[in-house]
Structure 1
Amino acid sequence: MKVGLSVTLAAVLSACVNYAGIHSDKQMAQPQQLDTTQSLPAEQGHWPAADWVDQFGDAQLEALIAEALQGSPTIEEARARVAEAQAYSQTAKAATLPRVDADYSLTRQEFSGTTVVPPPYRGGWATENKGLLSASYDLDLWGKNREALKAAVSQEQASVADEELVKLTLNTAIARTYNDLARLYALRDIAQQEVGRRELIDRITANRIATGLDTEVERKTAQANLTASQGNVAALDGSILTTRYQLAALLGKGPDRGLTIARPALGVGDEVRLPDNLPADLVSRRPDIVAARWRVDAITHEVKEAKAEFYPDINLSAAIGLDAFGFGQFLNAASRTMSAGPAIHLPIFDAGELRAKLRGRYAEFDYAVAAYNQTLVHALSDVATQLAQIRSSDVQLVDAVATQQSAKGADDLAITQYKAGLTTQLTVLNADVTALSAEQSVANLQMNRRDQQIALASALGGGYVDTSSDATRSADASVHANPVVAAH
């Protein structure tokens, strides 16, 4: 008898739909697989702290970032997505637990006079009272509901990492825009100094005309250069105002908020040195990498959930209640109704629906793995690029400062000689243009270097650490090393 049952069960299962031949060979890249030793050397540095902007010593910048985190619509959008993911996780958890429902219905109905309904209800009106307390529980023998819950939890963790990424992106944008504001103020100082030099040249030219050393040509040239310098100051004033408006928008405020932002007072910042074990630790310190990894984990569980749908689904249910015609008999013991038993669902022929769904899940798995690998490659390249630019700026600054000092000395000497009638205005203007260009180069390099330092702090994760994944990483190390094993 048992042999016959086993043979029958085997025959039924073999006739059912199956997922043979559907699989994936994609794997998540590991940091140690990517060559980084030369581009990202271990320098015994420190990872950025959560308050990494404090290194520049500007209290206003710290206050602006805190203000943005409180009221930015971008942050509110990210928080809403986290709340949505949390609600979905709670919904998935409910599917793994028993369910109890209570229902009551009151139905007034006229019954046919020619059906099996017995008298006295046949051909007349009657009121049916029905109350039912029911309970059901999906045995989840193949883990479909449990895998759905795990996938939902992983998606929730990805949303949390996404929120941290939004915060980091916003903080970085504010810091870099604020640094641009400092750049514009520095360039305006240089432009204003240039106005002063052009005014001095104009006065010297007037004196030389009075002594017959220059003509009105030189006077007109001096005046044209003066107005051009004044125009540069006005243009920079406009750019400063525009940048203030940009900062106000990043704060989630109206443009008037930007008018209250004072001139930046940014310092040089900390010494730039990369931390040790950078490639391996970066995967838990960059929120975009963490989010991508959680999405791979989520789709891995969704693949398992899709596979579980190929197997029998058994649901236990029971109900007890009262069912009576009229009101007088409703609470009698004779009106009691009870039911209990299992419900079994076994897919036999679905025209390929389940197989198509599983193929779709594997396609999503392949996409998630590719997205993770690309995110990891981009992150390592981002860190290496910012470090290379900082080192290049440091070298350029040494030469630029030396050039600036020489150009300033030549400019001062040219003005002195022009005032004494020993050289022409053209010589002075050429020396002045060279000095102006050298000062602008130094200012831009200093601001670029700080901008690159801000970008490097962001590329290193901006102080973020994924503590939620520590247990998962240790428990599922084999899955992350070869996620195909879990997905098959």
Structure 2
Amino acid sequence: MAYLRGTFRHFPLLAPLSLLCIALTSCTVGPDFKRPDVPEHAGYSKEKLDTTASANIGAGGAAQRLMTGMDIPGQWWTLFRSPTLNTLVEEALRANPNVSAAQAALRQANELVYADQASLFPSVNANASKTREKVSGVSAGLPDSPILTVSSASLSVSYAPDVFGGTRRQIESTTAQAEYERFQLEATYLTLTANVVNTAISLASIRDQVASTEEIIRLQGGQLDVLQAQRRLGAIGDADVLTQQTALAQTRATLPPLQKQLAQTRNQLMAYLGRFPNQDRGEAFNLASLHLPQELPVSLPSAIVSQRPDVRSAQAQLHQASADIGVAVANQLPQFSITGSLGSTVAGGTKLFSSGSGVWSIAGAIAQPIFDAGALEHRKRAAVAAFDQSAALYRGTVIGAFQDVANALRALEADADALNQQVVAEQSAQASLDLVQAQYKLGAVAYINLLNAQQTYQDTVLARVKAQAARYSDTTALFQALGGGWWNRTDVDPATQGKPDRFGLPTWQEIMPPSNAARAEPLKQ
């Protein structure tokens, strides 16, 4: 091994070049990213919204107070105080395929970050070869054709100093992509939880509409019995009975579409839960089982950009586009590389690493693009254009976020007023129907008056149920528009983070899959 000590004396030749490269690596070309500021005048509404109206009804009738600056709980759906709903949301978060896909995408993005970080380190490769060759004795002027054996082994090192920061900008770009996937995961969670809650509200609304329709059918059926009895006594003709039969049949005809809608909504809920349609376990909802939150958080406008997953995803894309500009600029500048190798080469009959068999090489290279017909320049301009596009999309996403919050706040105010009026209308229609029924029995009004009163009452009941459900749905929309409180819970599976593994090698299972390993087992025996 004496020759090794001698060859290492040559490696200090790399020291000046290495120090120069280290000094230059403090330079990072391209723009440094800074998140755009939200305009100071940005807000949700010109008028201040404090408290919504209330309605004289149990389910969904309470007034709601809007609490500016109040934080959003991580499990915001628990504010509806439904244990069944809480269980379903937790099941969806565990079993929904979209969540698993988003977790896997984040894991992939993090692994790509570690892969790009490896570019900052030297790469070391070991090489070994043995060659046997029979050469022509005639061409060499020898009587025989000798067989030559050459053995060699070497260790090679290559390193590309990141002089202008192109590699660091690439890592920055990949890290921003991982950040994008991080908030795509949060968006998946937010969308899924909101969909589960809204589907439960829809089930409750449709179930109440079915119950109200069945009650109206019962009332109309009772009225038909009365009319048929009056006809048998000769008090009325067939026309009134036939008209009532028609009205009853029309009401009954509205029931199958509601039942179909109920079944399809349940199937949608099963999909959110990661179940098949036949795995329905009979979870039931009605509006009375859901509590309407009476205190609602309203985040400050300055906080919305950090809370909304879609805004954070757009910010990550903008960051990635900014880093890509630095990569494009660095590609136009000189590219440095250092390579070195140390090994041994011997002929047949001589041992490797014996005295005098050592070989080594050292090389430093600089490559500067001179003429590429403008390809690199146009790629840089394309990166700048991509940044401008991402900036515009980011601004649009921020505006859309403010719009969503403003729409939800207005909807809450309008829904409360609408439900209040629908309750009044239903109570008036009920009183009118009772009065007309009494008058009709006394013969004071025509049957058409009774029929109109029945239809009006039916319409007001169904409208009231829909107005109730709208308050629950728009409350969910507000939580969704404000970001859903993801910062108050942990959604990221720790396994998606991964960790740098600088000396990773394939496992035995990767080299020999189970099926192949099973076939190879007899060979090992």
Q: CA RMSD in A?
A: 2.9
Q: Provide the C-alpha distance between the structure 1 equivalents of 2:135 and 2:259, rounded to a whole number of angstroms.
A: 87
Q: Is residue 269 of structure 1 aligned with residue 285 of structure 2?
A: no
Match of 1:46 in 2: 70
Q: Is residue 429 of structure 1 aligned with residue 429 of structure 2?
A: no
Unaligned runs of 5+ in 2: 1-29, 50-65, 491-525
Match of 1:56 in 2: 80
TM-score by length of 1: 0.84
- Are the counterparts in 1 of residues 201 and 285 from structure 2 also a CA contact under 8 Å? no
Q: Which amino acid aligns with 1:215?
A: G
- Are the counterparts in 2 of residues 411 and 431 from structure 1 also a CA contact under 8 Å? yes
Q: Is residue 414 of structure 1 aligned with residue 436 of structure 2?
A: yes
- Are the counterparts in 2 of residues 29 and 373 from structure 1 also a CA contact under 8 Å? no
- Aligned-pair CA distance for 1:167: 1.1
Q: Provide the C-alpha distance between the structure 2 equivalents of 1:76 and 1:250, rounded to a whole number of angstroms.
A: 13
- Are the counterparts in 2 of residues 111 and 122 from structure 1 also a CA contact under 8 Å? no
Select the residue among 18, 29, 32 that pairs with 2:40: 32
Q: Is residue 174 of structure 1 aligned with residue 196 of structure 2?
A: yes
SS at match of 1:334: coil
Select the residue among 205, 217, 240 that pairs with 2:227: 205
Q: Is residue 322 of structure 1 aligned with residue 330 of structure 2?
A: no
Match of 1:75 in 2: 99
Match of 2:461 in 1: 439
Q: Provide the C-alpha distance between the structure 1 equivalents of 2:349 and 2:263, rounded to a whole number of angstroms.
A: 79
Which one is further off, 210-219 or 399-408? 210-219
TM-score by length of 2: 0.78
- Aligned-pair CA distance for 1:331: 3.6
- Are the counterparts in 2 of residues 36 and 279 from structure 1 also a CA contact under 8 Å? yes
Select the residue among 361, 367, 387 that pairs with 2:389: 367
Q: Which amino acid aligns with 1:270?
A: P
Q: Deviations over 1:68-90 (max 9, x none)?
A: 11121111221121111111101
Select the residue among 263, 274, 277 that pairs with 1:255: 277
Q: Is residue 341 of structure 1 aligned with residue 354 of structure 2?
A: no
Q: Deviations over 1:354-412 (max 9, x none)?
A: 11221121122112111111110111001101111110111122221111111101111
SS at match of 1:107: strand
Match of 1:105 in 2: 129
Which one is further off, 317-326 or 35-44? 35-44
Select the residue among 56, 59, 66 that pairs with 2:90: 66
SS at match of 1:465: helix
Match of 2:400 in 1: 378
Match of 2:26 in 1: none
- Are the counterparts in 2 of residues 165 and 287 from structure 1 also a CA contact under 8 Å? yes
Q: Deviations over 1:402-446 (max 9, x none)?
A: 111111011112222223433332211111111111111111111
Q: Deviations over 1:103-158 (max 9, x none)?
A: 2223334457799xx89899654333221112222221111111111211111111
Which one is further off, 150-159 or 321-330? 321-330
Which one is further off, 179-188 or 419-428? 419-428
- Aligned-pair CA distance for 1:304: 1.1
Q: Provide the C-alpha distance between the structure 1 equivalents of 2:489 and 2:291, rounded to a whole number of angstroms.
A: 31
- Are the counterparts in 1 of residues 73 and 488 from structure 2 also a CA contact under 8 Å? no
- Are the counterparts in 1 of residues 344 and 357 from structure 2 also a CA contact under 8 Å? yes
Q: Which amino acid aligns with 2:484?
A: G
Q: Provide the C-alpha distance between the structure 2 equivalents of 1:353 and 1:121, rounded to a whole number of angstroms.
A: 59
- Are the counterparts in 2 of residues 204 and 419 from structure 1 also a CA contact under 8 Å? no
SS at match of 2:206: helix
Q: Provide the C-alpha distance between the structure 2 equivalents of 1:259 and 1:231, rounded to a whole number of angstroms.
A: 28
Q: Provide the C-alpha distance between the structure 2 equivalents of 1:64 and 1:257, rounded to a whole number of angstroms.
A: 13
Match of 1:89 in 2: 113
Which one is further off, 264-273 or 427-436? 264-273
SS at match of 1:333: coil
Q: Which amino acid aligns with 2:309?
A: P
Q: Is residue 355 of structure 1 aligned with residue 377 of structure 2?
A: yes
- Aligned-pair CA distance for 1:227: 2.7
Q: Which amino acid aligns with 1:132?
A: S
Q: Deviations over 1:34-82 (max 9, x none)?
A: 4545167695352321111111111222211111111211112211211
Which one is further off, 36-45 or 250-259? 36-45
Q: Which amino acid aligns with 1:212?
A: G
Q: Is residue 308 of structure 1 aligned with residue 330 of structure 2?
A: yes
SS at match of 1:323: strand
Q: Provide the C-alpha distance between the structure 2 equivalents of 1:187 and 1:294, rounded to a whole number of angstroms.
A: 45
Q: Provide the C-alpha distance between the structure 1 equivalents of 2:41 and 2:144, rounded to a whole number of angstroms.
A: 81
- 1:275-286 matched pairs, under 5 angstroms: 275=298, 278-286=300-308
Q: Provide the C-alpha distance between the structure 1 equivalents of 2:344 and 2:371, rounded to a whole number of angstroms.
A: 39
- Aligned-pair CA distance for 1:284: 0.8
Identical columns (%)? 26
- Are the counterparts in 2 of residues 151 and 298 from structure 1 also a CA contact under 8 Å? yes
Q: Which amino acid aligns with 1:178?
A: A
Q: Provide the C-alpha distance between the structure 1 equivalents of 2:137 and 2:47, rounded to a whole number of angstroms.
A: 91
Which one is further off, 47-56 or 122-131? 122-131
Q: Provide the C-alpha distance between the structure 1 equivalents of 2:166 and 2:432, rounded to a whole number of angstroms.
A: 80
Q: Which amino acid aligns with 2:244?
A: A
Q: Which amino acid aligns with 1:56?
A: F
Q: Provide the C-alpha distance between the structure 2 equivalents of 1:289 and 1:467, rounded to a whole number of angstroms.
A: 19
Q: Provide the C-alpha distance between the structure 2 equivalents of 1:53 and 1:39, rounded to a whole number of angstroms.
A: 28
Q: Which amino acid aligns with 2:225?
A: R
- Aligned-pair CA distance for 1:198: 0.6
Q: Provide the C-alpha distance between the structure 1 equivalents of 2:137 and 2:434, rounded to a whole number of angstroms.
A: 118
- Are the counterparts in 1 of residues 70 and 297 from structure 2 also a CA contact under 8 Å? yes
Q: Which amino acid aligns with 1:335?
A: S
- Aligned-pair CA distance for 1:324: 2.2
C-alpha spacing 1:237/1:122, structure 2 compared with 1 (3 Å): farther
- Are the counterparts in 2 of residues 134 and 318 from structure 1 also a CA contact under 8 Å? yes
